[in-house]
Amino acid sequence: MVKLNAGNVLLKPSHRRQLNAWLKRSQKLGQQIGDFLLTINMHRSGRMTEVTAQVHHSVGDYTCRVRGSQWHDAMRQIVRMLSSHLNTQRLMLAQ
C-alpha cells in the first residue's frame, strides 16, 4: 500500500499517475517481502522540494530522504533508492 502526502507541492492528476507508474516496481517488490506500507511526504520550501519515504515491511522499517530543486528529480532518486533497497531485502529473504 502506498500513501502520498503531497503537502504544499501542487501535483496534477497526471503527475500522480506518473508517480504510481514509477512506484510500480517498488510495490511489487514490497508485496513479495510482505506487510508492505510506503508513506511518501513531499514538502516545498523556497525552491527546494524535500521528499521523505517511510517504508514498513515484514523485515523492518527505514526512511529515505532526498532534497531536489524539482519534485520529479527528488522523486526519481527516491524511487531508485527504494527499488535498490527492497531488492536487497528480497534477496536476503530468499537465502
Angle at 43 between CA 40 and CA 46, to 5 degrees: 155
pTM greater than the 0.85 cutoff: yes
Distances in Å between the Cα of 46 and the Cα atoms of 6, 24, 64 are 16, 30, 21
Q: Which residue has the cell 515484514?
A: 58
Is residue 71 within 8 A of residue 4, CB to CB? The reply is no
Q: What is the DSSP letter of 9?
A: -
pLDDT in tens, 6-51: 888 889 999 999 999 999 999 999 999 988 999 999 999 999 999 9
Domain count for the chain: 1
Q: Looking at residue 42, which CATH number applies to its domain?
A: 3.30.160.100
For residue 73, the enclosing domain spans 2-94
